[in-house]
Structure 1
Amino acid sequence: MGIVQRQGLRNTIISYAGLGLGFVNTVLVLPKILEPQQIGLTGVLAAIATMLAQIAAFGFGNMGVRFFPYFRKPEAGHQGFLPFLLSVPLLGFALVAVLYLAGKPLVMSWYADEATDMVLLDQYYFWGLVLALFVLLINLWDAYLKGLYHTAFSSFTQEIVLRLLITGGALLFAAGYLDFHGYVLWYIGASSGVAVLLIAYTAFVGELHLRPASVASVRPLREMLSFGAFALLGNVSGVVISSIDSLMVSSKVDLDAAGIYGTAFFISTALVLPFRALYKIAFPLLADYWKSNDLPRMADFYQRTTRLNTMLGCYLALGIALNLDFIYAQMKPAYAAGSATVLILLAARLFDGITGVNGLIVVTSPRYRYDLIFNASLALATVLLNLLLIPHLGLTGAAVAAAIALVCINLARTWFVWYSFGLQPFDRRVPLILLLAAVAGGAAWLVPFVHSLLVTMLLRSTLLTVLYGGLLLATNAEPQVRETLQKLLRRSRSSR
């Protein structure tokens, strides 16, 4: 667990710093400066770019992490792995670009009911493709750095640098130095800057090996391409599950609703940042466990990460839910329509975190093909649920559809991992952590409104933190809490 602790600690610190910046962006900057329609447009462009990038990648992000351990040989430039990792996705992007541009009339017809939305989308349609290229490069380089166990810098650029650049662009827009067109170009340029930084960092650490080599001499080409094809279908399904709601809200309602939904979606995303920090290092580690067939260590890692995710997830979910009034008070009034959406998505994301790293275990296992069945089925269900619920429930319908998708896919994966490999994420401490969180959350919820939303937020958050932390220490529900506190106390004493 040494490398997990070191990289995980760095990623956690970076993720929490990114959480703070994300809060500033979502609550204090963008909704104060931009109208819901404008945020909706950038959200739609980001969703389009993400989907195009995943299709073009042909699953090579997952393939890179899965097979890199077989190529890891620094003195030989990792045997031509990086050029291979880039070549197929870039060819795929060229094909995707042709199809995307040719399909513009069809896409625009989805927004025919809203004339102003059509004008905006028509103006920025091509820029969605440009953004997709940068997203593709970021994803590929992130996968390569994962294989090298250089995850902290990648997290830093995506969680902090990117958000700082977006914040800077919004402030320039507010000050009148940029018009909205300039802001959109800045928004896209921020992703290009992150891609350049990742490439430069790879060169700095001496891992920018661009000399082609015969990768088939290391692993069969057919095996890697086959894995990539299955990962592609799985990734596209995952993107559909996570992004189709924004696209369908924008087309079935309007860009204003998409902006409100996107803001609510990001608020709920604050819950998963510590999960993502852990998963960045868990992915290559699980690949190594499968390579050595070390199931006992994998089982221990599975349960430890589940306990940690449960503890952090409950705290963050309660902290956000209890203070939604304060959060939305910092925005333009129109955004408060997304409060119910936040609560639904928080519950779904908490369940996603509690079920642990089941998805990564399946994807890195010899039975990775079964994950495609789960993802494809849930992607189809997500689209159908959105078609059914959004026209009747609007934003709430999209949130319910996303929640059902997350819960179902995690139930299916958890059962599959247990049935296939005898691994399950829960021990007796998990129900105890949930009980302690419910007690602390209930007590904080009973705090009445006091003077102002800020004072009420501080009182509720303080009570939640003190009571939840005290109960965790008293019961030792998560041993790492007590161990961490003891280490801090020892360091404090030794520094005196």
Structure 2
Amino acid sequence: MKQIAKQSILTTLSSYLGVLIGYFNVLWLLPYALQPEEIGIFRTIQDMGLLFVPFAQLGVGNGITRFYPKVKEYQFSFFTFSLILSLIGFLIVMSLFFIFRDLIVQAFAKNSPEIIDFLGVVLMITLFSVLNTILDSFCRSFLKVAVPAFFREVILRLLSAILVLIYLVKWIDFPQLMWGLAMIYLLALVGMIAYMVHIKLFRLKFDFSIFPKGFIRDFMRFNLITLLGTTGAMLIMKIDSLMVTSMIGLDANAIYTIGFSIAVVIEMPRRAISQVVMPLVSEHFENNRLKEINRLYKQVAVHQLLICSFIFLAIWTNIDSLYHFVPNNQVYELGKWVVLWIGLGKLTDVLFSINSEIIVFSKYYVFNITATMIMSVAVILFNLILIPLMGIEGAAIASFLAMFLFNLIKYLYVKKRLSFDPFSWDILKIILLGCLIWLVHYLSSEVIEKGIYSIIVSLAGLILLYLGGVLVLNIASDSRKKILRKIKEARS
């Protein structure tokens, strides 16, 4: 866990710096600088472009992590081959996009016709994001995750803020703002290439004949199967936003987007941990160290739930105060319940630990097809049923139900096939602690007027209750003992 902890901390620091910038963007800058329908366009185009990424990537990102240990000595040929595959994948997606363009236009023509003017931006975002994902995956194989995370979490958000500020002072018009959105992803890609050149990880080598016999076949087969698992996760992340835009309108998506963006911060530690855990899980499977994987499964479950539950409570106990500072908050505070349901969905991902990573890098990775088909059908059906009944809250509940179902199916499969289980008494203690703190908040929520003072008092009380509960319930005792031992060693 030492290696994981070090890399996760560096990645998490980038993630939370990005969160600060992102919160400024979402909770103040966008509502201040843009009209609700403009926010809807801005986020819908981004979501559509990113939704196409896993399809265009052809599963190569996970394939790099899985197969890199087998071809370390041919790493730059492997890198070049992966880039070529992703470009082929993008060309396929672009061709399908133009073939079905009329259907896409029809989906948005009634409630959100403005989207149609910027479909070209969608393809540019997809292309630059696909290439960036391949570079990110290659860096991850070397456990170089901090700088890619900095570009992904900080640079993109910072450039977005600068772009919107330029629009705010009227140096550009709205169409130029939207095309500038694509240029942001290009700049991030150029930055990643420069970083990899600097650390001597970017080199093109077109000699593919040196791969072991059968390698390309196995690599392609794995990529195409895991493609479905990757697209499943992205569907949950993006399809609700697109369906809200299509079925309700751009204003509704603006409200939904802000609520979703507040909640998504809950999973940041899980994403940071996952970036580091993936190559380790792959290596353990390669060397048949199954006990190590099961131990990692349990450790990650406890530690990321401990962190993410605190973040969820910090957000939800201050949700009214957070919306208090949003410009035009009377419009956007309708998304409060979106925060709750998406937040609970993210906690579901956290609760079931690294089940996705275990399946992807095990010999049972074909199961991703079954799990993803079930999840894809479920998330679309849930949205079709719940959005007409409950509006944006229905979309959030649909996402929660889909995430829970997806994770439950994968957990049961991992338990049956590998006898791995992430759950322990510490998990139950964390859930109990969270419920008790939520009850305390509910009983005292009307005591202090909403605002910055309320946030300070609430966070101070939450920290005391949470840390006190962790000590009293003796949660993650092994990790606390290690930390205390290192502190003593540092003092001596």
1:81: how far off?
0.6
CA distance 1:440–1:493, change in 2 (3 Å): farther
2:448 to 447, 450, 454: 450
Partner residue in 1 for 2:386: 389
2:193 to 194, 199, 203: 199
Check the 8 A contact 1:61/1:140 in 2, yes or no. Answer: yes
CA distance 1:46–1:452, change in 2 (3 Å): closer
1:186 equivalent in alignment to 2:180: yes
Q: 1:152-171 to 2 correspondence within 5 Å?
A: 152-171=146-165
3-state secondary structure, aligned to 2:422:
coil
Partner residue in 1 for 2:83: 86
Check the 8 A contact 1:60/1:85 in 2, yes or no. Answer: yes
Q: 1:236-315 to 2 correspondence within 5 Å?
A: 236-315=231-310
**Greater alpha carbon shift after TM alignment, 467-476 vs 253-262:** 467-476
1:220 to 197, 215, 227: 215
Distance in 2 of aligned mates of 1:40 and 1:81: 40
Distance in 1 of aligned mates of 2:167 and 2:300: 42
1:367 to 341, 364, 367: 364
Partner residue in 1 for 2:408: 411
CA distance 1:484–1:457, change in 2 (3 Å): farther
1:456: how far off?
1.6
3-state secondary structure, aligned to 1:433:
helix
- Superposed CA deviations along residues 274-318 of structure 1, whole A, max 9, x for unmatched, are 110000011111000100010111111110100011111211111
3-state secondary structure, aligned to 2:52:
helix
Q: 1:122-161 to 2 correspondence within 5 Å?
A: 122-161=116-155
Partner residue in 1 for 2:7: 7
- Superposed CA deviations along residues 192-213 of structure 1, whole A, max 9, x for unmatched, are 1111111111111111120112
Partner residue in 2 for 1:53: 53
Partner residue in 1 for 2:427: 430
Partner residue in 1 for 2:465: 467
3-state secondary structure, aligned to 2:364:
coil
3-state secondary structure, aligned to 1:110:
helix
Distance in 2 of aligned mates of 1:233 and 1:371: 6
Distance in 1 of aligned mates of 2:107 and 2:425: 50
Distance in 2 of aligned mates of 1:97 and 1:451: 52
CA distance 1:390–1:292, change in 2 (3 Å): same
Distance in 2 of aligned mates of 1:488 and 1:221: 46
Check the 8 A contact 2:132/2:192 in 1, yes or no. Answer: yes
Distance in 1 of aligned mates of 2:447 and 2:168: 33
Distance in 2 of aligned mates of 1:398 and 1:339: 13
Distance in 1 of aligned mates of 2:448 and 2:479: 31
CA distance 1:491–1:15, change in 2 (3 Å): farther
Check the 8 A contact 2:324/2:450 in 1, yes or no. Answer: no
Check the 8 A contact 1:314/1:350 in 2, yes or no. Answer: yes
Distance in 1 of aligned mates of 2:12 and 2:485: 18
1:183: how far off?
2.0
Length-normalised TM-score, structure 1: 0.94
Q: Give ranges in structure 1 of 5+ residues lacking alignment.
A: none
1:488: how far off?
8.0
CA distance 1:330–1:484, change in 2 (3 Å): farther
- Superposed CA deviations along residues 57-76 of structure 1, whole A, max 9, x for unmatched, are 11111111111111113xx5
Distance in 2 of aligned mates of 1:481 and 1:329: 38
- Superposed CA deviations along residues 342-397 of structure 1, whole A, max 9, x for unmatched, are 11111111121011001110011000001221111110111111111112211011
Counterpart of 1:471, as a letter, is: G
3-state secondary structure, aligned to 1:167:
helix
CA distance 1:485–1:284, change in 2 (3 Å): closer
1:458: how far off?
1.6
3-state secondary structure, aligned to 2:108:
coil
Partner residue in 2 for 1:175: 169
Distance in 2 of aligned mates of 1:398 and 1:154: 31
Check the 8 A contact 1:79/1:213 in 2, yes or no. Answer: no
Length-normalised TM-score, structure 2: 0.95
> How many residues are aligned here?
488
CA distance 1:451–1:484, change in 2 (3 Å): farther
**Greater alpha carbon shift after TM alignment, 186-195 vs 217-226:** 217-226
1:170: how far off?
1.6
Partner residue in 1 for 2:477: 479
Counterpart of 2:17, as a letter, is: A
Partner residue in 2 for 1:319: 314
1:172: how far off?
1.8
Partner residue in 1 for 2:68: 68
CA distance 1:282–1:380, change in 2 (3 Å): same
1:492: how far off?
8.2
Check the 8 A contact 1:264/1:339 in 2, yes or no. Answer: yes
**Greater alpha carbon shift after TM alignment, 209-218 vs 410-419:** 209-218
1:47: how far off?
2.0
Partner residue in 2 for 1:100: 97
Counterpart of 2:220, as a letter, is: L
3-state secondary structure, aligned to 1:217:
coil
- Superposed CA deviations along residues 430-489 of structure 1, whole A, max 9, x for unmatched, are 111222222233323433342442212221111011111122133331236634763685
Q: Which consecutive aligned stretches of 4+ in structure 1 deviate over 6 angstroms post-superposition?
A: none
Check the 8 A contact 2:414/2:420 in 1, yes or no. Answer: yes
- Superposed CA deviations along residues 313-334 of structure 1, whole A, max 9, x for unmatched, are 2111111111111111122221
Counterpart of 1:163, as a letter, is: R
Q: Give ranges in structure 2 of 5+ residues lacking alignment.
A: none
Distance in 2 of aligned mates of 1:485 and 1:437: 23
1:490: how far off?
4.4
CA distance 1:475–1:237, change in 2 (3 Å): closer
